[in-house]
Amino acid sequence: MSEHEEQLSTNAPAGDQKNIALLVHLSGIILGFIPSLIVYLIKQSEGPSWLLEQVKEALNFQITVLIAFIVCWVLAFVLIGALLMPLVWLTNLVLCIVAAVKVSNGASYRYPFALRLIK
């Protein structure tokens, strides 16, 4: 076993943590920030962990998407928002799927456009 494989095996999250993180990232596509908020409120008392890091990442991104949709809705009155809304939805879809694939492999994922509101 190489040094890199040993490091991955010692830092790798448990199967349950990977499954919960996977569900949190994917559920953001349909349910927004609610699932990640629920898991965050449940897991925050357990202290720092890989799962809590991923849940905070998903929560921050879904809050960012919500803000983007609100801005698009306001801008829809000048027709720009109506054009941007599908783009925001598609970005949410693609990045949530990418995040789910990464965490299913046990890797951490940081969304590129997320506001870091929850630290």
Burial class of residue 85 (count of CB atoms within 10 Å of its CB; 0-12, 13-18, 19+): middle
Note the pLDDT tens digit of each residue in 86-115. 999 999 999 999 999 999 888 889 989 888
- Give me the helices (H) in 1-119, please: 3-11, 15-31, 34-43, 50-75, 80-104
Residue 9, pLDDT above cutoff 80? no
Yes or no: say if 63 and 32 are a contact pair by the CB < 8 Å rule. no
Note the pLDDT tens digit of each residue in 45-98. 887 888 899 999 999 999 999 999 999 999 888 888 888 999 999 999 999 999
Mean pLDDT of the chain: 84
